[in-house]
């Protein structure tokens, strides 16, 4: 994981050096004072996200913390598309020497892409999935709101959370299941903004259950667990709950806990003749889950890359990077996330809320 992070940071810094070099060519005729100002502003924006990550647990004023995080994360995606488009125009210039304004063309197209991506992010899709289980339970059907990766903090703030709560409640779910990463990088801004107030407005008569994600561990899992006790959300860490209708929910702890219990061990606590729903944040080893005979698994984590072409990478890495699929035995749904981490853009992917209606083919 550390090596992956270092590779990403190295690529990010290399991309910014490339953009900066091309920017300096564009402003080569400017006075030295202006060049210094432009250089300082450029590198302040380029390093802002890294700085905000190091300061994530310091209780800065909310406006300052949000501005640092949001501007820094926006710059990250700006870097991605500027590098890709600059490469296109720089290569094109080899064949079309008269193309002198490649930097400005790339900048304009990047701005258009980010504007579209922001609009798309602000309008999550609602996915409706109907599933029939072979096992019986004491209810005609159960309407589940399945969400993941809300990432509450400086990115997804109190106002955004209120929109999501209203969106979820409007679907009138019987049950809400959260597949991890409810919290982002730190619990501090969540507490500062008193987000337990909005979370306490969630309505689901059969309950609200959640599995931990890797970001709950980044935010310090014990502090997240303490915070959730002030909400109606029940955090399941390697634990099982049986609903009055007979449906059993198995909440796995995140892979960040290297001592987490195996799925087989957890399944030893359930009744195999009743429906089993597993919450597991990171969708790894899905074929092994399918072999256990679990009826349904809900996961998240991938975000499906959030923006193209990173979506191609997640599609390659994961057995199932997004959406619903019926394996041999198990119905598996991997959410791309109701919100997202960092940059507020969805390009080639969607934020989503899944409404899963489960019915039984068998009589109780």
More confident residue, 31 or 70: 31
Pairing of strands 323-326, 296-299: unpaired
Q: Give the pTM.
A: 0.90
Q: How confident is the model at residue 296 (pLDDT cuts 50, 70, 90)?
A: very high
Region of poorest pLDDT, from 21-30, 67-76, 116-125, 321-330: 67-76
* pLDDT at 229 > cutoff 90: yes
Question: What are the start-end ranges of the H helices in 174-325?
Answer: 188-192, 196-199, 214-218, 221-228, 263-267, 286-292, 310-317
pLDDT of residue 250: 98
pLDDT in tens, 12-28: 999 999 999 999 999 99
pLDDT in tens, 307-316: 999 999 999 9
More confident residue, 60 or 250: 250
Q: Measured between alpha carbons, how far is 284 from 157 in angstroms, rounded to an integer?
A: 29
Percent of the chain whose predicted confidence (pLDDT) is above 70: 98
Asked if residues 298 and 277 have their Cβ atoms less than 8 Å apart, the reply is: yes
Instruction: Specify the DSSP element, H or E, that contains 248.
Output: strand 248-251
pLDDT of residue 2: 66
Complete domains list, the chain, with CATH: 2-121 (no CATH), 126-360 (3.60.21.10)
* pLDDT at 364 > cutoff 70: no
pLDDT of residue 66: 82
pLDDT of residue 230: 96
Longest Cα–Cα distance of the chain, Å, equals 81
- Share the mean pLDDT of the chain: 93
| Structural tokens at position 257 | 């806990």
* pLDDT at 129 > cutoff 80: yes
pLDDT of residue 6: 78
pLDDT in tens, 267-295: 999 999 999 999 999 999 999 999 998 99
Which of 109, 124, 100 shows the shortest CA–CA distance to 28?
A: 100
* pLDDT at 51 > cutoff 90: no
* pLDDT at 5 > cutoff 80: no
pLDDT of residue 307: 95
| Structural tokens at position 312 | 């191609």
Helix (H, G, I), strand (E, B) or coil at 329: coil
Q: Measured between alpha carbons, how far is 315 from 331 in angstroms, rounded to an integer?
A: 19
């Amino acid at each position: 994981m550390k090596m992956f992070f270092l590779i990403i940071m190295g690529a990010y810094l290399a991309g910014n050096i490339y953009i900066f070099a091309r920017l300096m060519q564009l402003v080569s005729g400017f006075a030295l004072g202006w060049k210094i100002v432009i250089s300082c502003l450029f590198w302040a924006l380029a390093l802002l996200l890294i700085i905000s990550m190091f300061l994530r647990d310091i209780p800065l004023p909310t406006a300052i913390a949000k501005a640092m995080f949001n501007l820094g994360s926006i710059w990250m995606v700006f870097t991605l598309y500027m590098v890709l488009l600059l490469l296109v125009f720089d290569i094109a210039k080899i064949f079309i020497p008269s193309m002198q304004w490649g930097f400005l063309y790339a900048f304009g197209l990047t701005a258009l892409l980010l504007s579209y991506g922001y609009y798309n992010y602000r309008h999550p899709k609602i996915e409706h999935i109907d599933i029939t289980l072979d096992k019986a339970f004491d209810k005609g059907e159960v309407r589940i709101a399945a969400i993941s990766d809300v990432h509450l903090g400086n990115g997804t703030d109190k106002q955004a959370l209120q929109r999501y709560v209203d969106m979820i409640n409007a679907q009138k779910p019987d049950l809400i299941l959260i597949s991890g990463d409810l919290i982002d990088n730190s619990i501090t801004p969540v507490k500062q903004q008193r987000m337990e107030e909005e979370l306490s407005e969630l309505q689901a008569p059969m309950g609200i259950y959640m599995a931990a994600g890797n970001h709950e561990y980044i935010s310090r899992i014990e502090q997240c667990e303490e915070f959730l006790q002030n909400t109606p959300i029940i955090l399941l860490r390697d634990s099982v709950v049986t609903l009055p209708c007979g449906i059993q929910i198995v909440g796995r702890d995140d892979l960040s806990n290297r001592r987490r219990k195996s799925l087989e061990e957890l399944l030893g606590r359930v009744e195999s003749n009743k429906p089993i729903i597993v919450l597991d944040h990171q969708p790894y080893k899905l074929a092994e889950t399918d072999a256990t005979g679990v009826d349904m698994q809900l996961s998240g984590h991938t975000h499906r890359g959030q923006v193209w072409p990173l979506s191609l990478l997640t599609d390659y890495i994961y057995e199932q990077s997004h959406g619903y699929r019926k394996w041999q035995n198990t119905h598996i749904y991997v959410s791309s996330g109701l919100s997202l981490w960092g940059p507020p853009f969805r390009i080639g992917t969607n934020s989503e809320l899944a409404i899963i209606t489960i019915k039984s083919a068998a009589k109780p």
